[in-house]
Amino acid sequence: MKIHLTSVFVDDQAKALRFYTEILGFVKKHDVPLGEQARWLTVTSPADPGGTELLLEPADHPAVKPYRDALVKDGIPLAQSAVDDVKAEYKRLHGLGVRFAQEPLEMGPATTAVFDDTCGNLIQIATQPQ
| Chain segment 108-117, per-residue pLDDT in tens | 999 999 999 9
**CB-side exposure of 26: number of CA atoms within 13 Å?**
24
**Amino acid identity of 67?**
Y
Beta bridge partners of 115: 100, 123
Could you say which DSSP state residue 98 is in?
A: P
What's residue 76's pLDDT?
96
CB 20 within 8 A of CB 129: no
Q: 17 or 108: whose pLDDT is higher?
A: 17
What's residue 37's pLDDT?
84
Distance in Å from the first CA to the final CA of the chain: 24
The domains found in the chain, sorted by start residue, are 5-127 (3.10.180.10)
| Chain segment 25-40, per-residue pLDDT in tens | 999 999 999 888 899 9
What's residue 7's pLDDT?
95
What SS3 state is found at 125? strand
| pTM of the predicted structure, to 2 decimals | 0.93
Q: If you average pLDDT over every residue of the chain, what do you get? A: 95
